[in-house]
């Protein structure tokens, strides 16, 4: 397992380019199955989760050709409908392949997905949605088998606006018969990006970015090229890296519209933000002001930045409260931040954070992707050296993290 070694105390300054979005790239790669042909994708982040998705596509018969961030995927020879169990365990989003396989071949077999340990992550909403589309589901020895004669459009209301369930229902129904109306759908920008991509292929999907999505089945989808949207969580992470070091950081290749809830919170914490079309510059005070945050489905504050903001507020002036409303145990990283001197107490869904100046370098372990990133953020201001172990979790979601931070002036190196 590799580790990061960070010497804290450097003020970050300069420009950093945001990569393509992980959470948009994953469902779009899955969706390439739907046209049984070639797709060219640009701005694909070179990260472990994306590699895992390529691996699955290859194992079911697809071909993936890579040239930096440009990827050509040929799904004309896909001939297997089972998602390999070990890859399914590695990454929860592999469940998205199920919707694409069902959409194209009317069958799929998979096991319960794995992924970061941030609380129970059931797939009941995905399954209920599939059933509403006329798909028969059989569970046997931990495997789920889906079969349908035909995919037939229906009205589906989600109990909760789940991102994955919304994506899976769209993928399963866009080549079906009739119209599917999905209500209480998730509104995340990554879903908008998936719909934009599918519509460019010839799908007929209305209501992207709203909680009512209408999917009118079409017969065929064509070969296209597509540019993946920028990663709003990575963008938020680098803005916070600037904020925690009292620095001045400009992120480029970003979409400020997607980052509004993050910009608002940073402003509330006394940072100054200059927003332009594709760039955002943050000018931070020496220490941020305490603020309260509640994570919510989009356009609320994203749960994926909860830990990153906790790291920032741990060094702020005063007491902040974070309430996690999406995942029930997304505070595993707190123990590690506290080892560095942070004063965070977790009570059920709340984290009570008493800001302190006394953050020290320590030997810590990343527990999940975003929790691990929070440790990196904290280490940037810690006194002395921090060793972050198990960074493979972090590398699942951040492209060239040490290179980008070094470019901004951080003292960080990776050791295998």
Residues with catalytic roles:
116
Q: Which is nearer to ligand UD1, 121 or 343 (CB)?
A: 121
Question: Rounded distance, CA 414 to CA 104, Å?
Answer: 42
Number of residues that bind ligand UD1 (CB under 6 A): 22
Nearest residue to the partner ligand UD1, using Cβ:
164
By CB under 6 A, residue 124 contacts ligand UD1: yes
By CB under 6 A, residue 121 contacts ligand UD1: yes
By CB under 6 A, residue 123 contacts ligand UD1: yes
- Residue list 300-339, contact with ligand UD1 (CB under 6 A): 303-304, 326-327
Of 114-122, 255-263, 277-285, 306-314, the window that binds ligand UD1 (rule: CB under 6 A) is 114-122
| Contacts of 379 by beta carbon, 8 Å cutoff, 6+ apart | 4, 6, 8, 340, 361, 386, 388
State the nearest-atom distance from the C-beta of 91 to ligand UD1, in Å: 8
- Residue list 154-213, contact with ligand UD1 (CB under 6 A): 160, 162-165, 186, 190
Q: Which is nearer to ligand UD1, 78 or 326 (CB)?
A: 326
Q: Which is nearer to ligand UD1, 326 or 391 (CB)?
A: 326
By CB under 6 A, residue 125 contacts ligand UD1: yes
State the nearest-atom distance from the C-beta of 304 to ligand UD1, in Å: 5
State the nearest-atom distance from the C-beta of 330 to ligand UD1, in Å: 8
By CB under 6 A, residue 351 contacts ligand UD1: no
By CB under 6 A, residue 139 contacts ligand UD1: no
State the nearest-atom distance from the C-beta of 130 to ligand UD1, in Å: 11
Residues in contact with ligand UD1, shown as a per-residue x/- string from 69 to 108 under the rule CB under 6 A: -----------------------xx---------------
By CB under 6 A, residue 3 contacts ligand UD1: no
Q: Which of 16, 26, 362, 391 binds ligand UD1 (CB under 6 A)?
A: 26
By CB under 6 A, residue 291 contacts ligand UD1: no
Q: Which is nearer to ligand UD1, 176 or 397 (CB)?
A: 397
Q: Which is nearer to ligand UD1, 14 or 122 (CB)?
A: 122
Q: Which is nearer to ligand UD1, 21 or 180 (CB)?
A: 21
Region of 43 (left: φ > 0; alpha: ψ -120 to 50; beta: rest) is: left
Chain contacts with ligand UD1 (rule: CB under 6 A): 23, 26, 92-93, 120-126, 160, 162-165, 186, 190, 303-304, 326-327
């Amino acid at each position: 397992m590799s580790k990061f070694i960070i010497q804290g105390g450097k003020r970050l300054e300069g420009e950093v380019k945001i990569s393509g979005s992980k959470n948009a790239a994953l469902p779009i790669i899955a969706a390439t199955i739907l046209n049984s042909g070639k797709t060219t994708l640009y701005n694909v982040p070179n990260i472990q989760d994306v590699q895992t998705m390529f691996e699955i596509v290859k194992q079911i018969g697809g071909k993936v050709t890579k040239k930096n961030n440009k990827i050509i995927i040929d799904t004309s020879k896909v001939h297997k409908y089972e998602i390999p169990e070990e890859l399914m365990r590695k990454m929860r989003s592999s469940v998205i392949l199920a919707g694409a396989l069902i959409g194209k071949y009317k069958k799929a077999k998979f096991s319960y997905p794995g992924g970061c340990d941030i609380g129970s992550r059931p797939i009941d909403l995905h399954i209920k949605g599939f059933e509403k589309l006329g798909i028969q589901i059989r569970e046997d020895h931990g495997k789920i088998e889906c079969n349908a004669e035909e995919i037939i459009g229906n009205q589906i209301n989600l109990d909760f606006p789940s991102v994955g369930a919304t994506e899976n229902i769209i993928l399963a129904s866009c080549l079906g018969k009739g119209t599917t109306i999905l209500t209480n759908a998730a509104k995340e920008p990554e879903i908008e990006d998936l719909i934009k991509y599918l519509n460019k292929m010839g799908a007929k999907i209305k209501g992207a970015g709203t909680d009512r999505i209408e999917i009118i089945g079409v017969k065929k989808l064509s070969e296209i090229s597509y540019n993946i949207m920028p990663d709003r969580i990575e963008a938020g992470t680098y803005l916070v890296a600037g904020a925690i070091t009292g620095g001045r950081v400009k992120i480029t290749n970003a979409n400020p519209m997607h980052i509004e809830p993050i910009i608002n919170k940073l402003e509330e914490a006394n940072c100054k933000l200059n927003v332009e079309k594709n760039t955002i510059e943050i000018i931070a005070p020496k220490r941020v002001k305490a603020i309260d945050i509640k994570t919510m489905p989009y356009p609320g504050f994203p749960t994926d930045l909860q830990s990153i903001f906790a790291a920032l507020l741990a060094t702020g002036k005063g007491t902040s409260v974070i309430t996690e409303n999406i995942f029930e145990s997304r505070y595993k990283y707190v123990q590690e931040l506290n080892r560095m001197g942070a004063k965070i107490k977790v009570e059920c869904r709340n984290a009570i954070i008493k800001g302190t100046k006394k953050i020290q370098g320590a030997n810590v372990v990343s527990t999940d992707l975003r929790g691990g990133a929070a440790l990196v953020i904290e280490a940037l201001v810690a006194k002395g050296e921090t060793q972050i172990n198990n960074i493979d979790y972090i590398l699942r979601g951040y492209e060239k993290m040490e290179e980008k931070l070094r470019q901004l002036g951080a003292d960080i190196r990776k050791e295998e």
